Structure 1
Amino acid sequence: MTKHDAYAIVGAGLGGAKAAQTLREQGFTGPVVLIGEEHERPYERPPLSKGYLSGKDEREKIYVHDAGWYAEHDVDLRLNTRVIALDPGAHQLTFADGSTLGYAKLLLTTGSSPRPLTVPGAELDGVLYLRRVQHSDRLKEAFRPGARIVVIGAGWIGLETAAAAREAGAAVTVLESAELPLLRVLGREVAQVFADLHLRHGVDLQPSVQVAEISGAAGTVDGVLLADGTRIDADTVIVGVGITPNVGLAAAAGLAVDNGIVTDEYLRTSAPDVYAAGDVANAFHPFLDRHIRVEHWANALNQPQTAARAMLGQDASYDRLPYFFTDQYELGMEYTGYVEPDGYGQVVFRGDPATGEFIAFWLAGGRVLAGMNVNVWDVTKPIQELIRSRALVDPARLADPKVPLEALVEG
């Protein structure tokens, strides 16, 4: 290739792989270089806390493409490769071995990393995080009947790993600083649903606590100490206290960074010919009329495809509504929309949460901002349409299962 004709993608996860695929599907015949630090070819992360972790899915199912896809589509896949510098002016990447790569267009899909626990003992063997497939493999080994598992953080990762551990027969304690799991994400009304779910399945859920120290002997974890002096015995501690976007490369290169790499609706960063997508991108959303950074699978799947089309000069902007899903025990759910913490006025339930089958709607000013369907399927599209319509809804009709969701779009 010549010095500056490559379309380079830094970050070889789901987002990077889908961007490379889109470039080829859209007819781009020039060099495509996909660069990743891991030794595994691109794979999806949700199975690491869901089907793969529970043993329901084989390892091969986690990968985005078959092993031969990259060579077959002339994608230069460079694994075990770390980019240490980006020079936007020179359109050049520098690798850890000192070599360089010039690019015509660059997409950053560098993702995010688990936020580390900063208490004494956090470095002990047996204190685990979940971000890579090797982490999931380690957890699978730890989840066995009678094992004492302590989960710090009752977010999605914490609750999904807790469910997998309980289903494997382990004794599970979940520690959370807030009053309820997922309180900031879902609000009190729906957060209680997840608290009740885990309590029914025998999880020792301890809210409103602070971890003071991880204890251990001979370098291996054996317990967790709380600020009030309580000690909880543990064979394994799982830390799920959030993630941070991997913005180091972009920040060092002078790109605008604010809770992620700042982009416009076309996923363009502040540097010419440099784009960003996925967990790392704080992108302007034209429907929501604000910048948002979304850390879920659907965003990593779809946003890089839009970025790839924008890199090719197409009029492609990203305005999909945020979407995520979870499976815990017998509960399966999908969430569509976007709500700021405390940014809603009321929650309306269609169906009774006690039955395990319902839809929850978050409203502000009489309009639906988001909907979450629990064990109720094939309703994502009408929920999306209802949100996009910005229709004023009657809460009584919204709660009535006899009223089709489609009928509410008309107000």
Structure 2
Amino acid sequence: MSTGDATYIKALNKRILIEKIIEHQSISRIELSRLTGLNRSTVSSQINHMMEEQLIIERPSEVSYGGRKPILLQINEAAGYTIGIDFDMPQTQIQIANLLGKPLANYQVQTDDEDVCKNISNVVEKVHDVLKEHRVSESPKGLTGIGIGIHGIVNNDHNIVFTPKLQWNNINMKEAFEKHFDVPIHIDNNANLTVYAEQVYHYPMEDLFSITMYSGIGLGILEGNDIYKGSQGFAGEIGHMIVERNGLQCSCGNKGCWELYASEHALKKTLKAKGYIKQSSEEFDLTEIKDTTIIEEYLDYMAVGLNNIINIFNPEIIIINSEFMHQNRHLLTSLKKRLNSRMNNYQEIVTSSLGKEACSLGGVAISLKEYYGINSLNLSHYPYFNEVGKASIS
């Protein structure tokens, strides 16, 4: 066997072991050997090396089956950190997490300047402040990666092609961040990171679909544990599927795009026009909306897009990431009744409990996946979130 082959196999074995340790939270060497098929000497050699790196720690089992308690292995979650960013206007969200993807704190920074460079500079400065606050440089691994979600089209080279909301064109944000942080920078569409967060934290399935429905509408697609991006990275721009011929003008250039009728922004725009929301506010109470045709029409348009998605992709589970739908989950019954085609076949439609934190959490998760070099990251058994999906930050 050549040196190159031996190095590759060692790296592969390390990734396999890390994946299993994370999945099981804590596990013995014997159980690792059994689950992975690796012999005990290989497991011990790899574990010893990772313990020297301070990536793995030992602890005694709390349960004894007679004799000495087994020694369990787990990831040293305090060994390093990762950052997830949901880059949006007028505010950008920054999430910091440990090496087990546990959210430690969530920050907001103003990004409402017309100057793209100024917005990027504000976020970079805030990230530096966050790293100092958590004393990241003092940890064994330090900062391991940054994942950034963009509300627009991002190509396979991580370059921002176009953002309808911000009107950005051909922005190399990756290079801008690399000048300040000597770690891998991953930039992707916000819907892609959102669906990845759902898989990692709640739904450990190889194939998954998530629809974000805030200022616009985006579709995140996971196929075989990988984010499906299409040939150039443009896949999932489902909000620009035309549902009304000669309909409302969209900033993308077309008319009648789905997000102009079924996004939360579209709903709030209608409610403001009808006087149910003050112009200076975004808040409203569903029970105070006397004109029921507004919500009925909104659900009609939502169902049009969902019907198309279901018929094209035949998904098992669809996750709707919408604060409005999550707070009014009883509307799912009315929505499902509109999906009555004999061609429709899906198992479940649910609302996201991660909500507006999903994108930044996806940035955290994708950075961790790349840092460990693993095929899948499963944190669904970790008690990170309370009943409403918000991070339980201690």
* Structure with more of its chain in strand, by fraction: 1
Of structures 1 and 2, the one with the larger relative CO (CA 8 A, separation 6+) is 2
* Structure with more of its chain in helix, by fraction: 2
Above 0.5 in TM-score? no
